[in-house]
Amino acid sequence: MGSITPDFRFGNFAGSIVQLVLVVVALLTVLILPIIFFTLFFVPLPVVNGQVLTPYLFFSMMVDPSRTLPIIKFLIHTDYFRAAVFPGFGFSALIAAATIFIERKLLAKMQLRIGPLYAGKIEGIFQLVADGLKLIAKEIIVPSGADKPIFWLAPILFVSTSAAVVSLIPVASGWVVANVNVGLIAIFGILGFFPLITLLFSWASNSKYPFIGGLRALHQMIAFEIPFFLSALPAVILSGSLNLSDIARSQNIFWNIFVMPINAFVFYISSLAELERIPFDLPEAESEIVAGWLTETSGMIFGLIQLGSYLKLYALSALFVILFLGGWYGPQIFPHELIPGASASNISLLKIFGLVGLYNAVTVNSIFWFMVKTFVIILLMLITRGINPRIRIDILLHTGWYKLIVLTFINLFIVLTLIYGGILGPGGMISPK
């Protein structure tokens, strides 16, 4: 049987490319630009060269890249940018996507498999995009007896709650969406909603396996809530503040992990239980209850829950860095000038791209070290999936209610001894500057 060759003509191919370009230009002209222009009438714009910026002047300045620096500076420091782009939802969503890809490749290497390979020439880099498009295109199947409003609402609440935790995490001095004085309490308060959302979703699925998984998740998260909170308490005592930025600044001399290694270990274990990751994946145990509380998920309902889970993974890893690894502090490795010894031609090039005055070496250095530390903790949480078996639920509950609580009190007493002995703390021999 002969092979069938497709009828390929270059003219048809070129025509399809031209048609695609025309569609994009039409959408840009008819839909996107009017939306941007309409939005600019409601967004307060800055004063540039003594003149209030109007939407018309805004577009004229966008044509001249050398005059866009005031606009870029203004947009970067708006609450909208921080919440939607950096360090808020957009930034954390990119990290979540990268974490999913790294986890799949890392576990494949550990288990002598290939892992994602075919979609994309470089290590299957576009496999993530392909999987995302697949989830978007797949049909969402809602069980016939499900409580539909809760079934649809719970995944959205899951992602929103994860994003709320991310909004409280500072990535550098002054770079945080919501700088709350009681940020640590706010984070633990928000984390308390996850068991309720999980249980509501499992109940709304109207299936026995999701409900069993939801009950397991509720018992597991409650069992680890107390050691989770107690493990962070010594960091609050040493810094004298519940503000996460203040806790990070209090470690400019030494990291808290050197004083409270036991608490760091307890926080790490409790984070694994909070994230339902192996060896604490009982709520999703595939070999026992299919997929636990995720059994009835499909399409973008599953995609939203996965996104929320990895946003939560980033948030808890970043919180570990803030509490125990000195936050964004690290050696200054970035130069204070973007191009040291730059010539006049280089300066003019920077002006064309609007980069003069935008580069801050201290901020860039802080973000760099914060991300390096955070990715190290993320990798430590990912590796456990490839080297540990699932533990029994009685061992899990006994670990959370007894062993970890005792360990946190031991390290708490050590920290209190150092503070009252005049060694650590605001008035001690070793105190933050």
pLDDT tens digits, 221-249: 888 888 888 888 888 888 888 899 989 98
The answer to whether position 111 is within a domain reads yes
**Domain encompassing residue 278:** 89-420
What total of structural domains would you count in the chain? 1
Grouping H, G, I as helix, E, B as strand and the rest as coil, residue 383 is: helix
The two three-digit tokens of residue 287, written as one number: 């070999």
The answer to whether position 230 is within a domain reads yes
pTM for the model: 0.81
> Using 50, 70 and 90 to split pLDDT, how confident is the model at 372?
very high
Model confidence at 405: pLDDT above 80: yes
User: What are the DSSP calls for 246-292, one per residue?
Assistant: HHHHTTSSS-GGGT-HHHHHHHHHHHHHHHT-TTS-GGG-HHHHTTG
Contacts of 125 by beta carbon, 8 Å cutoff, 6+ apart: 101
- The predicted pLDDT at position 322 comes to 93
Top-ranked range on mean pLDDT: pick from 203-217, 236-250, 397-411: 236-250
- The predicted pLDDT at position 63 comes to 64
Model confidence at 342: pLDDT above 60: no
The two three-digit tokens of residue 158, written as one number: 């899951």
Strand partners, 52: 47
The answer to whether position 209 is within a domain reads yes
The answer to whether position 220 is within a domain reads yes
Q: Nearest CA to 239 among 323, 328, 179, 330?
A: 323
Lowest mean pLDDT of 269-283, 339-353, 411-425, name the range. Answer: 339-353
CA distance 187 to 182: 9
User: Both ends of the chain: CA-CA distance in Å?
Assistant: 81
The answer to whether position 6 is within a domain reads no
8 phi-psi bin (left φ>0, alpha ψ -120 to 50, beta other): beta
CA distance 108 to 113: 5
CA distance 231 to 238: 13
Per-residue pLDDT tens digits for 10-50: 677 777 788 888 888 888 888 877 777 777 667 666 666 66
Per-residue pLDDT tens digits for 59-100: 666 666 556 666 677 777 778 888 888 888 889 999 998 898
Q: Nearest CA to 47 among 71, 72, 76?
A: 71
**pLDDT cut 70: percent of the chain above it:** 81
Strand partners, 172: 175
Average pLDDT over residues 406-430: 78
Q: Nearest CA to 142 among 199, 221, 210?
A: 210
- The predicted pLDDT at position 35 comes to 78
More confident residue, 292 or 312: 312
Please report, for residues 34, 67, 69, 88, the alpha-carbon distance to residue 40 in angstroms, rounded to integers and kept in the order given.
10, 18, 17, 22
The answer to whether position 54 is within a domain reads no
The answer to whether position 153 is within a domain reads yes
CA distance 98 to 91: 11
The answer to whether position 65 is within a domain reads no
Grouping H, G, I as helix, E, B as strand and the rest as coil, residue 317 is: helix
- With the C-alpha atoms ordered 258, 263, 269, 273, is the resulting torsion angle positive or negative? negative
